[in-house]
């Protein structure tokens, strides 16, 4: 699989690429074996040399829809695997029994695949569920107890918190810390067998209560929690803590480079401690995976907290998880962003150790870079007013329609032409007519008096791909609103005919013929939030919503779009990039979403 970023001359390198390249050069992982599925040291040792040069993983917790930050992580992990002859595992981190739902599992699978990635390699489907590792995790817990590296703590939650200390104060040892391995094993089994109530005890690693890194002050490994798990049902009443489970998941899957966001930097010493202990016990294959952290993506005008996104959906501030204003992958898709544009965006924003905010305009720039070459052109009128060519019948013949054509794409002659008709009446943009033109306005305006009193003719413009017309005035309603713009056709000036250049005009306007235009609902989306860093200040993020994030208009599109299919994308000349809505277009209703304008209007 190649990505558009491979062809991007500006493809940036990043520290993760450098680490992987150094490991490949030094053969750090060259001697690894792969047992054909996740497993312990013996399982992998029995398998052949690993055909994958590196293994990465994308490990979402199935507790919500994926957002643009996850897209970045997906592109990074699957992209690195692709670029270095490796494999990226799709892993559902479903060790927490409380919050997971099948709807989320399905949407996550769909989002990753839509972005252009798959998890089948060398004939194996690398789709894994962390909850399938519960048996091994418990075995690892018993091993740690037996080796004197873990103990069952039965302090109250309050005492445990108080004895942890803080940044300035070392912690205090638990009174249960010096129990013998045999005693601890009996208590761990009592936990597992349901002999203790929820919260009565936890299994803790025995490391160092005085460590300056609070994460090494005997972190919890298992807690008692009577909850039904979607995969394992009621088989367990103890569940592993994330910090214990995650390194083990990586090691069972023979992950080489475990990439996560910076919040986990302080967990790395425990990640290494745990995997070293389990390698000593020959439970897990060596060499162990290594964790690397990069700064999470923060995108201006966007919220990337699953909890807040859920609130927007639950409280009806948006139409659903796939509302085209949502930064979910489902929302970006419905809005009309392409997988390739998101990949380009992810590559260009790189991976770094330094956090910060990425300007939203980068996503639109990537979209334009992708669609400029790929999207067929079309004309559309979004704010229509009728233009009547009053001398049409005399010049062209009564009721006559004249066929016009235009290239589907200016750089792809082989795509052929689009065809449409011009007649006595056409739709134009309301803003293309000005009764009193401001300086520099070259579009339609009526005859007016010059400085020395003589009458100057109305302005001439070309109807793009059609004829030159001269504005003669406008009809208005009782309130002074323009109801029709009036013009006359200048004979023998049609585009592509010998007379086309006989009249020079400064203005060219887009239009669609009243006879064959297709009425369509056009949804003009703007940023969902009115402030660049929503949810970061004291204000409730809901008060930062942009009240004008959606404007729905009824416009007209050219006849070639009559049979547009859901998710077909176009450049509407002058207006930007639009997509036929995934849901409504499929239901037979012509609806186009604006993905992005022709030029950047963000931050202005």
The pair of structure tokens assigned to 235 is 């088989």
Residue from 297, 332, 344, 461 that binds ligand ATP (CB under 6 A)?
297
The correct pick among 192, 217, 306, 494 for binding ligand ATP (CB under 6 A) is: 306
Peptide bond into 287 cis (omega under 30): yes
Residue of 35, 39, 59, 116 that binds ligand ATP (CB under 6 A): 59
Cα distance from N-terminal residue to C-terminal residue, the chain:
38
CB of 415 to ligand ATP, least distance (A): 37
Beta strands in 390-447 (DSSP E): 402-407, 417-422, 425-429
Q: For helices 68-83 and 102-114, give the axis angle rounded to 10 degrees.
A: 50
Rounded Cα distance between 221 and 521, Å, is 55
The nearer residue to ligand ATP, 295 or 531, going by C-beta atoms, is: 295
The smaller minimum CB distance to ligand ATP, of residues 270 and 465, is found at 270
What is the spatial distance between Cα 252 and Cα 278, in angstroms, rounded to a whole number?
11
Contact 318, 302 (CB under 8 A): no
Question: Closer to ligand ATP at the Cβ: 98 or 393?
Answer: 98
Stretch that binds ligand ATP, among 68-76, 130-138, 283-291, 333-341 (CB under 6 A): 68-76
The one catalytic residue among 11, 53, 61, 177: 61
Name the segment binding ligand ATP (CB under 6 A); options: 158-166, 205-213, 299-307, 401-409: 299-307
Joined together, the tokens standing for residue 67 give: 């957002």
Does residue 149 touch ligand ATP according to CB under 6 A? no
Per-residue binding string, ligand ATP, 226-265, x by CB under 6 A, is: ----------------------------------xx----
Structure tokens given for 193: 């067998």
**Nearer to ligand ATP by C-beta: 87 or 191?**
87
Which residue, 68 or 385, has its beta carbon nearer to ligand ATP?
A: 68
Q: In this complex, which beta carbon is closest to ligand ATP, that of residue 71 or of residue 341?
A: 71
**Is residue 112 involved in binding ligand ATP (CB under 6 A)?**
no
Q: Kind and range of the H or E element at 489? A: strand 482-489
Tell me the C-alpha distance between 78 and 90, whole Å. 9
305 binds ligand ATP (CB under 6 A): yes
Contact yes or no for 60/100 (Cβ under 8 A):
no
* Under rule CB under 6 A, residue 72 binds ligand ATP: yes
**What is 73-137 written as a DSSP string?**
HHHHHHHHHHHTT-EEEEEE----SSS--HHHHHHHHHHHHHTT---EETTEE-EEEGGGGHHHH
Minimum Å distance from CB 242 to ligand ATP? 9
In whole angstroms, the minimum distance from the beta carbon of 304 to ligand ATP comes to 5
Q: Strand pairing partners for 462?
A: 468, 508
Decide if residue 534 touches ligand ATP (CB under 6 A).
no
Q: Tell me the β-bridge partners of 482.
A: 476
Instruction: Judge whether 306 counts as a catalytic residue.
Output: yes
Judged by CB under 6 A, which stretch of 297-305, 341-349, 438-446, 458-466 contacts ligand ATP?
297-305
Binding segment (CB under 6 A) for ligand ATP, from list 54-62, 204-212, 411-419, 574-582: 54-62
Exactly one of 204, 268, 306, 462 is catalytic; which is it? 306
Q: What is the largest CA-CA distance in the chain?
A: 109
Residues classed as catalytic: 61, 296, 306
Sites of contact with ligand ATP (CB under 6 A): 59-61, 69-70, 72-73, 260-261, 296-297, 304-306
């Amino acid at each position: 699989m190649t990505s558009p970023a491979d062809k991007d001359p500006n493809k940036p390198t990043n520290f993760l690429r450098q680490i992987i390249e150094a490991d490949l050069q030094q053969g750090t992982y060259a001697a690894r074996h792969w047992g054909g599925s996740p497993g312990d040291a013996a399982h992998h040792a029995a398998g052949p040399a690993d055909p994958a040069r590196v293994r990465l993983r994308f490990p979402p917790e199935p507790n919500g829809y994926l957002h643009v930050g996850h897209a970045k992580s997906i592109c990074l992990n699957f992209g690195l695997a692709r670029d270095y002859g490796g494999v990226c595992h799709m892993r559902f981190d479903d060790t927490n029994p409380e919050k997971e739902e099948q709807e989320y599992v399905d949407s996550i699978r769909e989002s990753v695949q839509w972005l252009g990635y798959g998890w089948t390699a060398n004939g194996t489907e690398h789709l894994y569920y962390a909850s399938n590792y519960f048996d091994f995790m418990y075995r690892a817990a018993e091993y740690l107890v037996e080796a004197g590296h873990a103990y069952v703590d039965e302090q109250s939650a309050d005492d445990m918190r108080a004895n942890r200390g803080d940044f300035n104060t070392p912690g205090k040892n638990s009174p249960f810390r010096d129990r013998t391995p045999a005693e601890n094993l009996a208590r761990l089994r009592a936990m597992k067998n349901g002999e203790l109530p929820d919260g009565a005890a936890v299994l803790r690693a025995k490391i160092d209560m005085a460590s300056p890194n609070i994460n090494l002050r005997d972190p919890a490994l298992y807690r008692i929690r009577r909850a039904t798990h979607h995969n394992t049902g009621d088989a367990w009443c103890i569940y592993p803590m994330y910090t214990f489970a995650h390194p083990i998941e990586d090691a069972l899957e023979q992950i080489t480079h475990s990439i996560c966001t910076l919040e986990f930097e302080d967990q790395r010493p425990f990640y290494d401690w745990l995997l070293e202990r389990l390698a000593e016990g020959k439970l897990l294959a060596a060499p162990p995976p290594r964790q690397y952290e990069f700064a999470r993506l923060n995108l201006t005008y966007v919220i990337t907290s699953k909890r807040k996104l859920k609130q927007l959906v639950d409280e009806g501030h948006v139409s659903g998880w796939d509302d085209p204003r949502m930064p979910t992958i489902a929302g970006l898709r419905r809005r009309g962003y392409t997988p390739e544009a998101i990949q380009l965006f992810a590559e260009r924003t790189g991976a770094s150790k330094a956090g910060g905010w990425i300007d939203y305009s980068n996503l639109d720039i990537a979209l334009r870079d992708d669609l400029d070459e790929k999207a067929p052109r079309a004309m559309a009128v979004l704010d229509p007013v009728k233009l009547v060519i009053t001398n049409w019948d005399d010049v062209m013949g009564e009721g006559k329609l004249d066929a016009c054509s235009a290239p589907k794409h200016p750089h792809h002659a082989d795509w052929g032409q689009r065809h449409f008709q011009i007649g006595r009446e056409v739709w134009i943009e309301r803003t293309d007519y000005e009764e009193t033109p401001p300086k520099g306005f070259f579009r339609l305006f009526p005859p007016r008096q010059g400085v020395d009193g003589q009458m100057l003719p109305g302005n001439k413009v070309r109807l793009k791909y059609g004829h030159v017309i001269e504005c003669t005035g406008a009809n208005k309603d009782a309130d002074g609103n323009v109801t029709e713009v009036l013009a006359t056709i200048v004979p023998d000036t049609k585009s592509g005919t010998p007379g086309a250049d006989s009249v020079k005009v400064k203005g060219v306007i887009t239009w669609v013929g009243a006879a064959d235009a297709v009425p369509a609902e056009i949804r003009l989306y703007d940023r969902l939030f009115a402030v660049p860093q929503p949810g970061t200040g004291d204000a409730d993020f809901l008060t930062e919503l942009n009240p004008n994030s959606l404007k729905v208009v009824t416009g007209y599109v050219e006849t070639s779009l009559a049979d547009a299919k859901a998710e077909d994308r176009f450049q509407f000349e002058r207006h930007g990039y639009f997509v036929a809505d995934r849901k409504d277009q499929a239901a037979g209703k012509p609806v186009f979403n604006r993905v992005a304008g022709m030029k950047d209007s963000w931050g202005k």
